[in-house]
Amino acid sequence: MTALFTEGGHGLLSLFYMLRAMGMTVLAGVFLYTLLDSRLNKHRTQLIMAAWIAAVIIVNFLLAALLGGKLYMRLTPLLLNLPVFVLFGWLSRHRDGRMLFTLMTLMVESALVMLAGMLCALPFCGNPGVDLLGRCAAAGLLIALNLRLRRLYLDMQEALCRGWFLFSIVPLAYYASLYVYAMQVSPGERTGNLVDILVTSAMVIAAYMVILFFFQDTRRNAQIERERQLLQTQVSALRRQQDMVARSEEKIRLYRHDMRFTLHTLTAMLERGNTAGALEYLGKSNAKLDDTTLNHYCKSPVLDALLAYYEELARDRDIQVQIRMTLGPELPVDETELSTVFANALENAIHACEKLPEGTPRRIEVTAVSAPNFCVEIANTCDGKAAFDDEGFPITHEPGHGIGTRSIAAFFSKHKVVYQYHVTEDNMFRLRFLINRSHSQDETHVSKPLS
């Protein structure tokens, strides 16, 4: 990979080419990190990658001294690139077509960097300094692009389990064509293939743009489907609440109808001096009256219905639920948006509780207050293990999950919400967030404990 456009040389020039090749190895490591879905946590991944690449460079310096510059440069692709590929295979969470596509994309990006250097140096008779500047500019652009698209790319690795080998045909074909163009001719003839190389590079860039649009469309469709499901949930919750109100009203109507008979019975018992019987009968009547009472958590009909819906859903799955809400009549944001956050968080909590082994306590706690600021905590029992991304959001690697968390993240970003995800010592996974009623324009993301 790093020898695609390598020129021969002696003395200082050979040393320059060797250092440039090692610099490309470091760059390959950076590309790898921006595209890698590591099975290890962030800090361990960074430490291992830095140590591994440093060791590879040191070993290569020793080999270059032993083998000589000319022989070493011929072996550069094997000595420098193969260890990076091995590192990638060991760190990668996926060992299938997703790993192959990422690896080939890494190779394509490195080839494009070298091509950019060659194009920049071409008008200057191949000046190595100009070549280096061109490579640095292209590398910076690709790193920025990778970082911008990283979240989308990782999401697609979780959402799409098939089709990656087909995607890999694009970078494989490109790299094979570069090998034919650049490695099967003498160095003096390589510029003769320049038009072919540029056309092929333009085609592979266009192909990657198509793949990118496909990824964006896939994520958009998944989000639309998720929103549709949440809308159905809200409608179901409102219908359920409406049915419960209707049943309660029917019970009250029957109770009122039977009230005069209840009073006659109590009067007769008291006239006979049967106070104990009258009290027992009155207690049963009160129990019937309590049965007509509905639980209400807040004055927002949508949010109130959703809380009741998910409470029943959790209890049906043998999950204890505790809801404590002290909310004013006005919410700081649109009730539909806020209800979506609660729905996503509660679904995640129920799903997490369902995964716990039999016999493990399963509990969900919801707490919310509206003064002086709107604060919410949603907690659920867990196994005590959780991974978080750079912005403090939980990471899931289960197919079909994670869309709800991204929806919550979009809400937090839109409304400048202060939030925190963390696991406490009592094995409770807690989401806390605060909405400032003044809608302060302070920092969007805060991952520090709320005080």
CATH for 382: 3.30.565.10
Query: Are 268 and 123 within one domain?
Result: no
- The pLDDT of residue 237 is 67
Whether residue 121 lies inside any domain: the answer is yes
Rounded to 5°, the CA angle 225-227-232 comes to 95
Q: Please name every residue paired with 375 in a beta bridge, in sequence order, or none if there are none.
A: 369, 434
pLDDT digit string, tens, across residues 64-77: 888 876 777 777 77
Arithmetic mean of pLDDT, 284-288: 63
**Where do the H-state alpha helices sit in 92-127?**
97-121
Q: Name which of 33-37, 204-208, 435-439 the model is least confident about.
A: 435-439
Arithmetic mean of pLDDT, 369-375: 88
Query: Are 22 and 39 within one domain?
Result: yes
- The pLDDT of residue 244 is 63
Q: Name which of 100-109, 149-158, 218-227, 245-254 the model is least confident about.
A: 245-254
Whether residue 85 lies inside any domain: the answer is yes
- The pLDDT of residue 7 is 42
The proportion of the chain whose per-residue pLDDT surpasses 90, expressed as a percent, equals: 30
Helix, strand or coil for residue 137? helix
- The pLDDT of residue 148 is 93
Counting every residue written for the chain, the total comes to 451
- The pLDDT of residue 6 is 42
Query: Are 21 and 63 within one domain?
Result: yes
Residue 11: pLDDT band (50, 70, 90) is low
Rounded-to-integer distance, Cα 306 and Cα 338, Å = 11
Arithmetic mean of pLDDT, 279-302: 68
Q: Name which of 30-39, 248-257, 298-307 the model is least confident about.
A: 248-257
Q: Please name every residue paired with 422 in a beta bridge, in sequence order, or none if there are none.
A: 430
- The pLDDT of residue 225 is 83
Q: Please report where in the chains the tokens 């005069």 appear, as a residue.
A: 260
Query: Are 141 and 162 within one domain?
Result: yes
Whether residue 100 lies inside any domain: the answer is yes
Q: What is the DSSP string of 275-307?
A: HHHHHHHHHHHHHHHHTT------S-HHHHHHH
Q: To the nearest whole number, what is the mean pLDDT of the chain?
A: 81
More reliable by pLDDT, 444 or 356: 356
- The pLDDT of residue 404 is 81
Rounded-to-integer distance, Cα 398 and Cα 363, Å = 22
> In this model, does residue 181 exceed pLDDT 80?
no
Query: Are 144 and 44 within one domain?
Result: yes
Whether residue 1 lies inside any domain: the answer is no
Q: Please name every residue paired with 428 in a beta bridge, in sequence order, or none if there are none.
A: 381
Rounded-to-integer distance, Cα 402 and Cα 155, Å = 8
> In this model, does residue 147 exceed pLDDT 90?
yes
- The pLDDT of residue 447 is 39
Q: Please report where in the chains the tokens 């292209």 appear, as a residue.
A: 138
Nearest residue to 405 (alpha-carbon basis) of 223, 210, 274: 223
Query: Are 70 and 211 within one domain?
Result: yes
- The pLDDT of residue 275 is 76
Query: Are 89 and 215 within one domain?
Result: yes
Nearest residue to 128 (alpha-carbon basis) of 17, 2, 3: 17
> In this model, does residue 1 exceed pLDDT 50?
no
- The pLDDT of residue 5 is 38
Give phi and psi for 384, each to the nearest 5: 85, 0
Q: Name which of 68-72, 73-77, 218-222, 251-255 the model is least confident about.
A: 251-255
Query: Are 85 and 234 within one domain?
Result: no
Whether residue 440 lies inside any domain: the answer is no
pLDDT digit string, tens, across residues 376-397: 999 999 988 888 877 888 887 6
Domain that holds residue 122: 10-223
Number of domains in the chain: 3
Contact 201, 134 (CB under 8 A): no
Cα dihedral across residues 208, 214, 218, 220: positive or negative: positive
Query: Are 60 and 178 within one domain?
Result: yes
Q: Name which of 63-77, 313-327, 359-373, 418-432 the model is least confident about.
A: 63-77
Residue 293: pLDDT band (50, 70, 90) is low
Give phi and psi for 411, each to the nearest 5: -65, -45
Query: Are 219 and 264 within one domain?
Result: no
- The pLDDT of residue 69 is 66
- The pLDDT of residue 79 is 81
Last residue of a domain, one of 262, 292, 322: 292
Query: Are 166 and 21 within one domain?
Result: yes
Query: Are 14 and 130 within one domain?
Result: yes
Distances (CA, A) of 14 to 17, 68, 124, 162, 395: 5, 10, 19, 45, 46
- Whether the model pTM is above 0.75: no
Residue 261: pLDDT band (50, 70, 90) is low
More reliable by pLDDT, 399 or 225: 225
